Structure 1
C-alpha cells in the first residue's frame, strides 16, 4: 500500500462519513453537466494540480486552477544557462545561447469560448475553472457518458499525451484523498476496473516513433522519446559539442534535478545546437512527458562542475524557480520520480539527498566560481513529496546525532523575496516551501547566517535566489545544539539555528555517519580530484584548489559517501582518446552548507 494512502486511512480521510466539501461538489456538478465519469474528471485534475487552487497563481507553464487551464500569455521567457555549464578548467565552454520563447496551446481561452465564462473568472474562481476544464474535456469526446475507459482518448488529448492518460488511469486504480491548499477535502475512490483500452495505451506509433522510444533509457511504465543532442565538430573542427561521448560505462554518483527557466517547446532547437549545452532528460510540466537527449553512459554539460558532470545524470524540468511561488504539476513530479527511481536502481544509487541533488546543491570548482553557481530548482520544489513518490519518504529515526530537514510543505510558508514580477526585496506571496531559514541565534529577529563564498562581503538575504542561509527537505545535518523550540546545525563552519517547534516540526531525528576534523583547520573542496602521481603523464594534472571554507575541531558534518579521487580527461571528439584517471586519495562527501562538498578522508574522523 502506498505510504500516503496508509496515512489517509489512518487519519480517516478515506473512510470518514463527513459530507463532501464544496470542491468535491464542484467536481460532481461539472461531471454531471458534461456527461463525464466523475472519477475521470477527478483523475485529470489530480494529475494537473492535486485539486489545489494555488491562490490563483499560474503554474510554470501558465496553467490556472484545479484543471490547469493554460493562459499562453502568462509565460515569460528565460535563460538560466549562464556561466560555464561544463565546469572544466582544462576546457572552458564559452558558447551559450538564449532560450527561444515558445507558447503552448491556450486552453484557457478555448474553455472560455465553450462555456461563455470570462478568462478572469476561469482563472480566479475554482468552481468556474472546474466547469471550464470539464467542458474542454467533453469537447474532445464524441458522446457523453460511458465508462472511464471510453474517455482515454479525450484524457490524452486534454494534456496532449498518452503518457499523461496512462498516469491518470493509474491514479484511478490507486485512488486518492487529500485536503487542498485552501482546506477542501477531496476524495477519489479507487476503481480497479479503470484500465485504458489495450490498443490505445501510451505506445508510440509509426516506425520512427517506435525507434525513438526503443532508444530511450526509461522504465517500461513511462512513455519516453529519444530526442538526441548534437554531437559534431564546429569552429573549423577544433571544438565540438554539445556533450562528451564515452566508449565505456562510467561511474554514476548523482542524479541532478534542474528546472529549465524556460519552455519545453524550445528544447528540440536547443539540444540539437552543438554550440549550446546539454543534459540527459527533459520532463514536460503539463503532462509529465519525458525526452532523453544524451545516453546515461555519456557526459552531458549541465552542472557547472566537471567532476560532478562526469559522475552524474542531469534532468531538466519545465519551470521557473521564482515565479511568485509557481507550482509544479503532479504529472511532472510522478514522471520524474519514476524516472529517477529507475535510474537510481540501474546505477545502484540510494534514494537520498546525498545522491539525488538539486543544481543548487552542486559546489563551485574554485573560489572564483562559487558566487555564480546555480540556484535551481529552488525553494518551491517539493522534495519531501518527490522522495515519497520514489518510495523513500522522510522517516524519523530514534536517535543518531543528526536531523533531516522536513517542513510540512503545505503549511510551511517562510518569507521569500524577489519573485518574478516583484520589485527586488519585496516579499513574495505566501506559498508552501521545502526550505528553512538559518539564523545566527535562536531567534527570528537574529540575522541570517552568511555564506562567505556565495555573497562575498555581503549579508545573506531572503531572496528566492539566495540559498546562503537555507537548508532543504531531505538534507541531513549534524546537530550542534538544541534550545527551546530551536535547533542548531553545523553549517559552513558555524552553528546555524532554525525554528523547530514540537507543535509544527521542521526537521526529524536522523541517524547516519558523521565526520569531525582531526586538526584545527580542515579545507574543503568542490572537486574530488586524484593525487599528482595518479596521472602518470596520461593527462594534464588538475591542481587541488580548496574553496573558501574551513571546518574546525569540535564541529561535525553528515557524511554522504566516500570515494577515491578521479578525473576524466575529455579533450577529444574521439572517445578512444579520452583518459580516466583513478587515484588512491580518498574523499568524504559532506553536507557543509546548502551545497555538498568534499574533505580529504585523512583530515577527518568518521563517527558511526
Structure 2
C-alpha cells in the first residue's frame, strides 16, 4: 500500500499545479499594493500555497529581517526577503520560478513575487515530507520543512529551524525598511523534529567551549598556519547565521571564518580551528582569526546587545590566549585588513562599545595605525 507521503504527493500534485498556474496568472499575487504591501504579500502567498502565514513571515525575518536589499545578492547568492538562492550548488531561486511561473528577474527584485516563491518552496518541502491538509494546519509539523528550506544539513539545519521557531514562540513586531509593521503573535511551540536533531546536541568547540563546533568543508581552509596569530578581524556575514554556516560547509564557496555569531542571542559556532587558516581576509589570513557576525552592513538592527557581548567575550578570550593586544591596531574590521576591498563591518558597527566590552576598561581602545 502506498505510504502517506506517496498518497499525499499524488493527491496534491494536480491541486498544487493548478494553484501554481493560478498564482502565476493572477497579478494581485505578484504585484505590491499600496498601504501594507509586504503584509498583503505574506497573507496572499500563504493562502496560495497553504503555508501558515506566521511561519512564512518568521522565515523571512530570520533570513533578512524583511529587507530585500534592492535585489542585491547575499554572500551565498541569495535574493530578496525570502533569500532565494542561486549559486553553483543551491538553486532555490530557479526552483521557485518553476513552481510559481514568476520570472527569475522578478523573484530577485519584486518583494511580493519573492515571498510567493518562498511560500512555494516551503509547500514543496512539506509535500515531499508527506504533510497533508491537516498537518499543514499544525505549525509544529512544519519544522522539518523549515530545516530543509535552510539548504543546510545536520546541526546547521537545526540551528536555522530553531531560530524560526524561537521567533514564533516569542512573536515579532518588526518594521520593514519602508516603515511597514509586520507582526507575528507569540505562541507555545513544540516542533515535530521528525529526524532533525536539536541543534544543541552537537559537538562543542575545543578552542572555545562556549561555542558549537560545525566544521567548514576542507576545501575552504588550509590546515596549519604560516604565521603567528596576531590579530582578530571582525566581519559581517551579508546573510543569515545558518545560511553562512551552510555556505562555509559548501566546497564551492572557498571561503570560511573561524567563528560565526548569531544576532538574536549571541550564539557562537566555530567552523575552523584556531590553529588552521580560514579564508576570510586574503593577505591577512595566515596571521588572523576571523569572526563573522550575522547580518547586513546597511542594517544596524542586526547588531544586538547579545551579539556585541558574546562576540566581545570571544575576542577577549582569544586575545588572552594568543597574546593579542586588546586595541584597535590588532582588533580590526575586514575593511581595515591590508589588500582587501570589503567594507564590513560597515558604518553601523559600534566600535567604541565593542572595544569597551572587550577591554572592560570603559574606553574605546586605540585607533588603528597604518
Shorter-chain TM-score category? 0.5 to 0.7
Provide the secondary structure at the position in 2 that maps to 1:156.
Answer: helix
The CA deviation at 1:348 is 8.5
- 1:316-360 deviation digits (Å, cap 9, x = unpaired): 5799xxxxx9979999999977973662475588xx995863133
Number of the residue aligned with 2:234 = 257
Partner Cα distance (1:201, 1:218) in 2: 25
Cα gap change, 1:175 to 1:184, in 2 (>3 Å): same
Whether 1:360 aligns to 2:330 is no
Partner Cα distance (1:195, 1:20) in 2: 35
Number of the residue aligned with 1:47 = 62
Equivalent residues of 2:259, 2:268 under 8 A apart? no
Which structure shows the higher strand fraction? 1
Equivalent residues of 1:61, 1:318 under 8 A apart? no
The CA deviation at 1:58 is 2.3
Partner Cα distance (1:143, 1:123) in 2: 30
The aligned runs of 1:490-569 (5 Å cut-off) are: 560=365
The CA deviation at 1:35 is 2.0
From 133, 144, 154, give the equivalent of 2:145.
154
Equivalent residues of 1:34, 1:138 under 8 A apart? yes
Equivalent residues of 2:223, 2:276 under 8 A apart? no
Cα gap change, 1:219 to 1:50, in 2 (>3 Å): farther
Gaps of 5+ in 2: 1-33, 152-156, 239-243, 321-325, 354-359
How well do the aligned residues superpose, as a CA RMSD in angstroms?
A: 5.0
The CA deviation at 1:259 is 6.5
- 1:257-313 deviation digits (Å, cap 9, x = unpaired): 247999636658969xxxxxx8524689xxx99552214xx474776569x94xx63
From 186, 189, 203, give the equivalent of 2:185.
189
The CA deviation at 1:157 is 0.3
Number of the residue aligned with 2:18 = none
The CA deviation at 1:197 is 3.4
Number of the residue aligned with 1:293 = 272
The aligned runs of 1:50-129 (5 Å cut-off) are: 50-72=65-87, 103-129=88-114
Moved more, 120-129 or 40-49: 120-129
From 170, 173, 176, give the equivalent of 1:174.
170
Number of positions where the alignment pairs a residue of Structure 1 with one of Structure 2:
300
Number of the residue aligned with 2:118 = 133
Partner Cα distance (2:112, 2:68) in 1: 10
Cα gap change, 1:228 to 1:64, in 2 (>3 Å): closer
Task: Calculate the TM-score normalised by the size of structure 1.
Answer: 0.40
- 1:96-148 deviation digits (Å, cap 9, x = unpaired): xxxxxxx1311111112112222222223211211111011011112242322
Cα gap change, 1:265 to 1:332, in 2 (>3 Å): farther
Partner Cα distance (2:45, 2:58) in 1: 14
Equivalent residues of 2:215, 2:272 under 8 A apart? yes
Number of the residue aligned with 2:4 = none
Task: Calculate the TM-score normalised by the size of structure 2.
Answer: 0.62
Gaps of 5+ in 1: 1-18, 73-102, 231-239, 247-251, 272-277, 320-324, 363-371, 382-433, 436-471, 478-511, 515-557, 561-589, 599-608
The CA deviation at 1:186 is 1.3
Whether 1:374 aligns to 2:340 is yes
The CA deviation at 1:195 is 3.6
Provide the secondary structure at the position in 1 that maps to 2:189.
Answer: coil
Whether 1:243 aligns to 2:238 is no
- 1:201-248 deviation digits (Å, cap 9, x = unpaired): 55479xxx96xx34555677x764134869xxxxxxxxx9632799xx
The CA deviation at 1:177 is 2.0
- 1:146-166 deviation digits (Å, cap 9, x = unpaired): 322211000000012221111
Equivalent residues of 1:112, 1:119 under 8 A apart? yes
- 1:374-398 deviation digits (Å, cap 9, x = unpaired): 343x15x4xxxxxxxxxxxxxxxxx
Provide the secondary structure at the position in 2 that maps to 1:257.
Answer: strand
Which structure shows the higher helix fraction? 2
Moved more, 353-362 or 155-164: 353-362
Cα gap change, 1:61 to 1:559, in 2 (>3 Å): closer
The aligned runs of 1:27-42 (5 Å cut-off) are: 27-42=42-57
Number of the residue aligned with 1:280 = 258
Structure of larger gyration radius = 1
Whether 1:21 aligns to 2:21 is no
Cα gap change, 1:122 to 1:32, in 2 (>3 Å): same
Number of the residue aligned with 2:351 = 475
- 1:398-440 deviation digits (Å, cap 9, x = unpaired): xxxxxxxxxxxxxxxxxxxxxxxxxxxxxxxxxxxx43xxxxx
